[in-house]
Structure 1
Amino acid sequence: MPDTAAPSMRPVSAEPAGVLSHTALNAEYRHLVLRAGPRATAARPGQFFQLLCPAPPGEAPFLRRPMSLYGADTAAGTVEFLYKVTGAGTRGLATLSPGDELDIMGPLGRGFALDRGWRNIVVVGRGAGLATLAPLARAARAAGIGVTALLSARRPELVVSEALFREEGAEVIAVTDAEGTSGPAHAERLLRGLVAEGRADAFLTCGSARLLRVQQRLAREFGIPGQVAMEQQMACGLGMCFCCVRDFEVEGETVHRRVCWDGPVFDMLEAVA
């Protein structure tokens, strides 16, 4: 199950973080590495930060921008983010250079939780979900859990976390729209194969409602647990503004939960895709 720590027990702070590197991975995604304090670098897979983005020329972002954790290393003192320039906040982020400072608040939310009884998990992501799921590669390896990563994107060059998963010993299956391999029917065939081989003790996913529905169907059919990191517009990130409320189905009833505070990682079978 996802992180069950009481919200009041989750330490969070805002602090300046120094830009160590900032590079373009491809035509869409940029990789930002920051030097940060021990609280930030202890962030767990699935958690996020609220970034106080600098103002790009002629614009003034009003709120912090939520950003999923792409990597955290306590020994190195670093946190990493992977993002795509889509609005004023990320246009401001794109102006940062090594040596600059960025105010970050976090870690926030409930992250993924790995059950030590699992031997093999399946990680399924698409688009921005590939960044959110990336920290699971290292965490699973440290826990002695094997990983098969089904990574979906529009084009092969946009499968941004493929190398990271492979470096941590995961088997990667990349599917893309351009190659005609990313449809739900093909994904279901691949996932059924992994279930038949005993390599799917759990599903962990983010980034695609269509793929989420496939996994929910298989989870119910085979009794497989799962967790999903939900993507949602956020304002405060602290559960106070209620702008990120979504519906969930719990024991046959519809309940309302705040993605930033009660999540962003939830039981996969409770999510309404």
Structure 2
Amino acid sequence: MARPVQTPAEVLGIEPAGAYHRLLLRAPGVAEAVLPGHFVTLAIGGRDSATPLRRAFSVHRADPVADTIELVFAEHGRGTRALARHRPGDTVDLVGPLGTPFPVADAPETAVLVAGGYGSAPMFSLAEAILARGGRVGFVLGAATADRLFGVAAARALTPHVAVVTDDGSYGARGRATDPLAAMIRAVGATVVHSCGPMPMLRAVTDVAVAAGARSHTAVEEAMACGFGVCMSCVLPVAGADGATRLVRSCTEGPVFDGTTVRWPEASPPEPSPSVEPREVREVREVWEVREVREGVRS
């Protein structure tokens, strides 16, 4: 896990990116320590806010010279809607970098990078790190619709090996991100597959990678109430080197895991039932209910 810094981050810019937003922040002491796969958490609304939980975001770009980081996010609820209303000159309380990043070998390696939606945000700096070491990369980018893709042009600027799929066929091929994966692994001769996106996709990517003889590293999407290992809300069932399965914290031991060690059938929570509770109260309750469900499954 990285050594995080807490700092007031100044909003330098925010702009639309398809269905998402790109947020540029000046965050002194953070950018210099960011590696591909790290994330940060933001406190939104200040001390008296009705959104008490921090929001976690993968780092898209980090510029140590300018002391800036760039995030990509979608408006999912009250917190991200409030974040989207920020303007240059505003500040947000930021903690980061957090988590365990993607492993990048010192020697040249060939990798396929798979992402769903704005899960592609950390993949471009990862690709650049692999290329800088003399390696090769291919991309598989998927989303439900064309406007929910992120970074297609950026991927094509890095490599000619880019496959794009959408659920409805509105851009690229019609299908899922795993459909062209085996062919892409063969095309570039990949020995490793890095992925980020929804949990069902990560499970399927791992299955395809292993069948093709490649390693699988997945950045999991888990609800995180703190982001640095205190609240235990983001635990996942993961097998250790001894073969025993334990609940580990995805914010510290992850979010990047060897996909073959994650116990995928037990890793995805059931859909939450509708409630008339305020959203923020419901978030806290659901975080702990998910933990209890998982512990019950493991007992």
- The two structures share one fold, judged by TM-score above 0.5: yes
Residue 82 of structure 2 is aligned to residue 82 of structure 1: no
Q: State the partner residue of 1:254.
A: 245
Instruction: Note the 1:163-182 alignment, pairs <5 A.
Output: 163-169=153-159, 171-179=161-169, 181-182=174-175
Q: State the partner residue of 2:6.
A: 14
- CA–CA separation in structure 1 for the residues paired with 2:160 and 2:73: 23
Q: Post-superposition shift, 1:86?
A: 1.1
After TM superposition, the structure 1 stretch with the greater mean CA deviation from structure 2, 193-202 or 147-156, is 193-202
After TM superposition, the structure 1 stretch with the greater mean CA deviation from structure 2, 226-235 or 190-199, is 190-199
- C-alpha spacing 1:35/1:170, structure 2 compared with 1 (3 Å): farther
Q: TM-score, normalised by structure 2?
A: 0.79
Q: State the partner residue of 1:266.
A: 257
- CA–CA separation in structure 1 for the residues paired with 2:45 and 2:131: 36
Q: State the partner residue of 1:240.
A: 230
Q: State the partner residue of 1:47.
A: 38
Instruction: Note the 1:1-273 alignment, pairs <5 A.
Output: 7=1, 10-26=2-18, 28-54=19-45, 60-169=50-159, 171-179=161-169, 181-183=174-176, 187-188=178-179, 190-250=180-240, 252-273=243-264
CA contact (8 A) 1:11 1:39 kept: no
CA contact (8 A) 1:153 1:182 kept: no
Letter of the aligned partner of 1:256 in structure 2? L
Letter of the aligned partner of 1:46 in structure 2? G
Which runs of 5 or more residues in structure 2 are unaligned? Answer: 265-299
- CA–CA separation in structure 2 for the residues paired with 1:169 and 1:216: 22
- CA–CA separation in structure 2 for the residues paired with 1:234 and 1:241: 8
Letter of the aligned partner of 2:51 in structure 1? P
- C-alpha spacing 1:199/1:126, structure 2 compared with 1 (3 Å): same
Two-structure CA RMSD over aligned residues (Å): 2.2
Q: TM-score, normalised by structure 1?
A: 0.86
Letter of the aligned partner of 1:34 in structure 2? L
Which runs of 5 or more residues in structure 1 are unaligned? Answer: 1-6
- CA–CA separation in structure 2 for the residues paired with 1:50 and 1:83: 12
- CA–CA separation in structure 1 for the residues paired with 2:13 and 2:185: 40
CA contact (8 A) 1:141 1:169 kept: no
Letter of the aligned partner of 1:263 in structure 2? G
Q: State the partner residue of 2:278.
A: none
- C-alpha spacing 1:267/1:254, structure 2 compared with 1 (3 Å): same
Q: Post-superposition shift, 1:118?
A: 4.1
- C-alpha spacing 1:210/1:241, structure 2 compared with 1 (3 Å): closer
Q: Post-superposition shift, 1:260?
A: 0.5
- CA–CA separation in structure 2 for the residues paired with 1:116 and 1:170: 23
CA offsets 1:238-265 (integer angstroms, 9 cap, x no match): 1011011111234543221101011111
How many residue pairs get aligned? The number is 259
- CA–CA separation in structure 2 for the residues paired with 1:262 and 1:220: 22
CA contact (8 A) 2:139 2:162 kept: yes
Identity of aligned residues (%): 33
Q: Post-superposition shift, 1:201?
A: 1.6
- CA–CA separation in structure 1 for the residues paired with 2:91 and 2:34: 19
CA contact (8 A) 2:109 2:130 kept: no
